[in-house]
Amino acid sequence: MPAKTELKNLLPAELETFLLGLGEKKYRAAQIFAWLYKHGAVSFDAMTNLPKALRCRLSETATICNLPVLARREAENGETVKYLFGLTGGHAVESVLMRHSYGNSVCVSTQVGCRMGCAFCASTLGGLVRNLEPAEIADQVLAVRRNARSGEADIHSIVIMGTGEPLDNYDNVVKFMRLMNDPLGINVGFRKITLSTSGLVPEILRLAEEDIPITLSISLHAPNDALRDELMPVNRRYPLGELLAACRRYEEITGRRVTFEYAMIDGVNDREEQARELVRCLRGLLGHVNLIPLNPVRERGWQRSSAAAIERFRAVLQSRGVNVTIRRELGTDIDAACGQLRRQFMAQPGRAGGGRDES
């Protein structure tokens, strides 16, 4: 039996080709795509404007990704909800709904695990298991919407900042962003999509040529190569000079300002002299710096900087003309740091642990 086609992996033009291969009219593609994304259909029977014969044919030849909710945790202040979704092979992936005054945002994961090895992150514990397909990334957004409380169906922005290095799963992530942006679907503007990377230089340069004006966010976390080598092993492959040159090129091609994420770690990267070094490091860039109070990970042992240290660091940057904000804390009480909830789930008796998913 040939493998069934996952429809949420297909852009509208690809869906047209698939339907033509079944001997169907290609205009049905727009109907099906709208059912999947606008209406959130998880079965062919729900697609009531399709002929019954077509629905039967689709059930024989295609599938619809429908991630089950394994766990749900809501922050006490109601601003953040963390979901753990089940995947084939007994694995799981995390997503976060963030409720803002300006609308709802969903943070998605792009891989099961991660191979970047960042020293303060829970996602890399156990390494990379596998990449997620576009359907599995897209259905995180759709599943959050399916499970949202009344009046929360609209998703206004997407943050690709969950488990995994998005640019290490380049083709699937770019297709996911195009799926989210398509006007036949949920139609999230590219400028409302933020992608965070640890700094894969060739992929940053490739992304600049895609003609998708998203917000690029760089996980920087250190103002020099020596410290960044220690915190982020990717820096040994693409040191700061190469990374920042790629960021300048990205800004030139896209006209979009790059954001630099900087996790504030007590006694490690939060001194005022390091703030001054960061100013010199970012000279000539349009970039905005986002200071992030570290979300502590039990297995890592790092602690967040004090509020006073973060404020001193911010003041140094601002006094030297750097655009800087301190990220408002969301979800500390629900283990919102990437990978924490998944690790708790996988540690349960009988779970697969960190093994590779061969399904």
Asked if residues 154 and 103 have their Cβ atoms less than 8 Å apart, the reply is yes
Q: What angle do CA 97, 101, 105 make, to 5 degrees?
A: 25
What's the maximum distance between 2 C-alpha atoms anywhere in the chain? 70
Does the pLDDT value for residue 229 go beyond 80? yes
- Residue-wise pLDDT tens digits, 139-177: 999 999 998 766 566 899 999 999 999 999 999 999 999
Rounded to whole angstroms, the Cα distance separating 75 from 196 reads 23
Domains, the chain: 5-63 (1.10.150.530), 69-346 (3.20.20.70)
Phi, psi torsion values for 165, nearest 5 degrees: -100, 110
Rounded to whole angstroms, the Cα distance separating 34 from 46 reads 12
- Residue-wise pLDDT tens digits, 249-297: 999 999 999 999 999 999 999 999 999 999 999 999 988 999 999 987 7
Catalytic residue among 94, 136, 251, 261: 94
- Residue-wise pLDDT tens digits, 13-67: 999 999 999 999 999 999 999 999 999 999 999 999 999 999 999 999 999 999 9
Instruction: Please tell me the pTM assigned to this model.
Output: 0.91
Rounded to whole angstroms, the Cα distance separating 212 from 190 reads 6
Rounded to whole angstroms, the Cα distance separating 19 from 27 reads 9
Catalytic residue among 65, 114, 247, 338: 338
Cβ neighbour number for residue 34 with a 10 Å cutoff: 17
Question: What does the DSSP assignment read for 59-128?
Answer: HHHEE---PPEEEEEE-TTSSEEEEEEE-GGG-EEEEEEEEETTEEEEEE--EEE-SS--TT-STTTT-E
Query: Given this model, what pLDDT does residue 355 score?
Result: 31
Is 210 part of the annotated catalytic residue set?
Answer: no
Is 94 part of the annotated catalytic residue set?
Answer: yes
Query: Given this model, what pLDDT does residue 174 score?
Result: 98
**Which two three-digit tokens encode residue 186?**
């949920």
